[in-house]
Chain A
């Protein structure tokens, strides 16, 4: 399973990367894209939206199924990756490059409480 060590994860298969400015990039894991198959549509939340932890904020659709994307932490959406709507297949080819939105968390420390690579790998294998 491709699970980079420098990222954090959720049980609902999102990954998070802490950017230099303190915001968090969020996408779906390689394992998730593999489960979904060919991805043909991504709907990311609009910048400025306040979200709660666990709130459904976007959608990924593959040929075979639609799947919600959840906000891993409470905070504000500060950016959405517009490039993905024209090229959703990037989620398949580069799951950890294809960030869907950036989140400014209410609690900067909450990031460290999320699953690390080892814990995610264990959760995803179940």
Chain B
């Protein structure tokens, strides 16, 4: 039996194509994934991401606990509402999950974690808290709807639907959140566009969804979410990294704080092992297929692997994120084996697209 979000019947009534997404019955698109993608780049799209899990960390030990549990440094969070992207590592330096942590009060932080990993994350965090005897309570919020409204017109559409939240959210800088109108409104996203991610009680899910659609937000499925995040150069847990991957080999070194002396889980191994791979983007230069995860990348005498690939609707060509031999730099030409056929690709530094603008140098196919 698949798990459902509070918006399941709305998706079905809107003609969504539903798929089993890690045990969740989720919309992959509502007609055209590519049109949904363009809607987010040019106007405004709306995603149901209620399969993701809100986990509240409360109590006097919240900051000290997260400072130990997370690879990024929660001491960067001093202003209420500030958010931080971080990996949750195991002792071997592998990535248990990637998440966003929000700071609201010294005794109240909130994590939003991936759907497929939520259960093991909570078990892991409970174990850490017990072993270190931290005075914290760890509470997965089961009754929570999560929506992402994304695109250059997203915030305007949101305020049109919920004018009362405008005063509290208009001044939000990127990666900041506010509690307004019974919702948590965060200026974050997974698309490379401006917008909000909002969390609120499930019972308001349908009316909230309908109000945002009435304000001009186009329903978008997880298909567009994937092409948008890949263009934005954002990792997908389970594809670009997992428990067997060091964040240093997955382009996530910028999220690992090794400057302070802070003792966090996985630190020792990361420092001992260092980085073994470069993690960069690929732009397919010729026709012949689409880059996909697990395809082999041949660069001079060494090999790498595509970790996630797709067709980029914005660039009209195939793009990928890939683990490549150290020393390979943007600009290099490599071959990707697509159905055993070597196709030429250029190594580029992600992101490919941000705020509607193409940032990588393409070439005629």
Could you tell me which A residues sit within 8 Å of B by CB distance?
A: 34, 37-38, 40-41, 43, 59, 61, 63-64, 66, 85, 92
B288: A residues at CB distance < 8 A: 41, 43
User: In this complex, what residue of B is CB-closest to A86?
Assistant: B287
For the complex, give the distance between the alpha carbons of A37 and B292 in Å.
16
- B290–A37 contact, CB under 8 A? no
Whether B73 is near chain A, meaning CB under 8 Å from some CB there, is no
Q: How many A-B residue pairs have CB under 8 A?
A: 45
A92: B residues at CB distance < 8 A: 32
Whether B339 is near chain A, meaning CB under 8 Å from some CB there, is yes
For the complex, give the distance between the alpha carbons of A34 and B227 in Å.
18
List B320-348 residues whose CB lies under 8 Å from chain A. Answer: 339
Knowing A37-B223, A40-B311, A41-B311, say if A61 contacts B17 (CB, 8 Å): no
For the complex, give the distance between the alpha carbons of A4 and B350 in Å.
46
Cβ of B33 to closest chain A Cβ, rounded Å: 5
- B289–A43 contact, CB under 8 A? yes
For the complex, give the distance between the alpha carbons of A5 and B32 in Å.
27
B17: A residues at CB distance < 8 A: 34, 37
For the complex, give the distance between the alpha carbons of A85 and B287 in Å.
9
Could you tell me which B residues sit within 8 Å of A by CB distance?
A: 17, 28-29, 32-34, 223, 226-227, 287-290, 292, 310-311, 313, 318, 339
For the complex, give the distance between the alpha carbons of A43 and B286 in Å.
13
Cβ of A56 to closest chain B Cβ, rounded Å: 10
- A61–B290 contact, CB under 8 A? yes
- B287–A38 contact, CB under 8 A? no
**Contact among A34, A43, A63, A66 for B33, CB-based, below 8 A:** A63
Q: Which of A34, A40, A66, A85: most chain B CB closer than 10 A?
A: A40
Knowing A66-B289, A66-B290, say if A37 contacts B29 (CB, 8 Å): yes
User: In this complex, what residue of A is CB-closest to B313?
Assistant: A63
For the complex, give the distance between the alpha carbons of A92 and B32 in Å.
10
- A63–B287 contact, CB under 8 A? no
- B289–A37 contact, CB under 8 A? no
Cβ of A85 to closest chain B Cβ, rounded Å: 7
User: In this complex, what residue of A is CB-closest to B19?
Assistant: A64
A38: B residues at CB distance < 8 A: 32-34, 311
**Contact among A41, A43, A64, A66 for B223, CB-based, below 8 A:** A64
B227: A residues at CB distance < 8 A: 63
For the complex, give the distance between the alpha carbons of A59 and B313 in Å.
20
- A59–B339 contact, CB under 8 A? yes
**Contact among B33, B318, B339 for A37, CB-based, below 8 A:** B33
User: In this complex, what residue of B is CB-closest to A35?
Assistant: B17
